[in-house]
Structure 1
């Protein structure tokens, strides 16, 4: 230490004084959008005011309208937009020209304990703590005033009959409610809410100030308070701390530092906290806050690598598909035993009304609030809340759905879209009974919009029956000829006893061939009673079935339908060359493609669906291995599950010693294993 002191000798000692006269009144102003060389010291300050508790300051500074850099025409235009053509004492620009600008402050830091203003004079350093550091930025509140003027003029031009506002009738019911006692938990939540904090800040009155320039005599007088007065340092004494203690005072250990957490609303969850929740809760929380969202955006908010199938499963539990976008379900927003914050209406009634609004958006892009209110008979405040969740007001068009139709999602996930369409049909039937209306009342007439509309099941059935009458005879003859040519004999059932009655509802009869943007029940997708046999099996359909069985060898009818639907979904929109296809047509095509039905003896108590009990196997491929498959199929007509050693024994008896490779190939092509037993593909019972 001694050698260090000799190398760095003390040149001068300076006394440091703590001045307290301005300790709670001294602010440092920063102008981050202004170059340091261009100060506002010589500019005329018109007014100044402060809210001391919030440390919020506003200044009005004159603009030199005589400067060669000032554009008179722009200044006059801005004044005209803000104040209009009439001028009075409330006008912002009394000179009919923008001759001043406003500055508003924000706090640069909330903790100023480490900052001070220092003045050096006659070998003494006088330090005054800062009460706050404020950044003064230009305020553009005059633009808000100009916008309000524009809205007022537009409202006047509309003559008070704007569809954007859709003014309610003069006479309306008033619901009287009595405030319930507020719990302590509810009071704390209310006091932490953004609205409450904003209201408290607005309640603090402004204190008007008088500005004095740098060279003003009052400013020179106030500067003297930056120096320690005779009474300020009376209590000060010599520093008796050791070097270590003094260093600890200047730089306290990290453990002693207290981190002040920002106070936010109790219902706000950060993305980091959100991702600690289970996937279902993450999806529910996001949808409850956002209300309406495309599926791609939802995947972007979740953690990278999240399984898309799992997200689809979760989203369908808390949301419904509207125009290809996901909208949160009504019972998630309005849980049981709750009521409206506006009118006190029970949650059950709110859910029915909101479901009606969402259903209307599945039909068309825009709705009118008056029309909605007249049907669901709910207070205007609740109806407006329903609409604000998913729509935006448009002049002369009512309320328009917020997001464009997500065609990509519908094309990529036709099974989900079809399932959601079925849900909406069920909701529609309930709404028709509750509100006593007919869906045909809302079908857009002469609509120029390209959006698809709903076609009811009765309409599809009538169109299918009319078309089926004309084609049934010719189709039956064609099918009989094909069966006869292939050596296949199928017992003809009466049309009334068939499970899958042929029905055709091609896109030529239904607008856009879809319902609510989803594949309708009449689109060429297979279901339990799906499709239409209006046309004979096409070569393309036979080619698909033949290639599918060449790849899988054994398929249940249910699995064959699933693969066919996936094949249709993978094709570009509008490029499908397949007619509507029924279950019976698909079975007939399988029989035409060298396949046979395997009559598997499932147990009586099996829970398998009828389509899962219909099993087809590839019978003839022209390969020597066909005889091994036929033997396997014969074994499965005696039992629905078999052990491996039984299969190997039977093969050895019929074709000589069967190698392990042959048995492995046979089982791999046609079977699945579970609990030591082998089943034909798709027949394992859960």
Structure 2
């Protein structure tokens, strides 16, 4: 130590003072694009403003337009591009020449605790902490203003050209999006995004300042605050720490450092952390993450020695038994007052749809995604999520349940299995009311009802051929008889028949000598009424009743109503399992209806079934002529204004009352953006 002191002798001691008068308002300005010998001290500063919270500063400085280095033509061109030819008070360059320049600041560092400004005077060093270090760079915001002016001029020119065509008021499509629930990680990304920062910067108002030059008397006065104002002996400013304490302040020991745990995914929980939770929360957390699990696997994840009875009691609160395995309840995955992250559908609707999927898996091993979607009427991405929780896709077999049936658990815990079965019966009754179906509609293919009689492939093919011939002959007879007395012209178009996906003929159907299917339109008045008479008459009655209620329907909407009608019929009564689109269209045309050839635009996104529009043509009322005139108007345009309809009705039938026009539009049309469309034809 002695030798060290000899090598580093103390030459002089200087008193250091901490000045705090400017501690919260002292900034260091740097000009990185300017040489240090070319300062802005002698340049005229026109304006200055600051945003203290963001530490943003803008300085407006005059440019020497008389300098030989200044290009006058370029300056005038820039002013013309920015402000245009008109003189306004808001012009950036009032002299019609770029005669000033704006400097905008960016922070050189966000942490200035290590930086200070020091002034040495009379053997004393006065130190003032810095509030911020800002780099001043030229701002080119005037170029953005010039681009905005150019776009406005172009838009005005285009608007003037298109203003001549005001006959057709285009309707713009509006896309509705639902905000997804924001996770913590997504919120952090949004806060750090450029758009969010720009918005926050714009929210803080500017504070305008007065600039004083270096040699100004006010500047000289402010510089005096860089010296400590109080140097009284009464103030204890001497460092009284011992060398060890001072060293500890400079370099704190490692034990005092706070170790920040890295942020991991929100759905990751270590087993050590998991086992610190109560048993119920452990079971809930595991089921919420795994979704489906055998009871034996669940016991293996819990701490050894955990009571299985207590686990059974907990698992029944958060999961349901499906094929001997436990599947997390829907309300655990989708709590109340939340919504789908994909589509924004409320949690209550999601829970009903997912319960239906789980209930289907209590009946059979595999389900078809399209069939599920058609019943629960939820977006495809939500249905896919339901299935991915508990099933895997199989080629030509739909979605198969993820785990094999746990027969051992069912045998060992028969009381729990029975209780879960009763619970599923209650859920089934609620689902039947919500989705309007019956359990018999989903009898598995391997159920006893389907195995009473074995039918070979040749027998099934023969029966299908006979059924098709019967359908064709009966339909042709009926169409011929109807066309003879009707003015309706049916346009025959080749169209692919939908695949008949009806189940194989049951034993009762085979014994009765008929195949479960639609036999055609047979209107013969035989005694007793054959199945053909009954089914065709039922279909025609349904068509008449439906069009009397709706007047105008697309083929797609009519098929939807027909499927709802079939679902509402008692089990075993329906005989409409294989009606094709052709048969439905022919039935519609036979019931005093006509197809309206609506000229949809070429870029229309409507499906083919949505572009087939049918309207009720004849009811025997005097008002039929108004409807027929309306249909004629819609053969020329797919959307019409109300005044055009009123003018045509007045021309054809004299003065038309407002009540007649209202009835006509309400029966046949729907309104959107000031235009009227036939029902079901609005292009969204």
Q: After TM superposition, is the score higher than 0.5? A: no
With structure 1 as the length reference, what TM-score do the two structures score? 0.36
TM-score scaled by length of structure 2 = 0.36
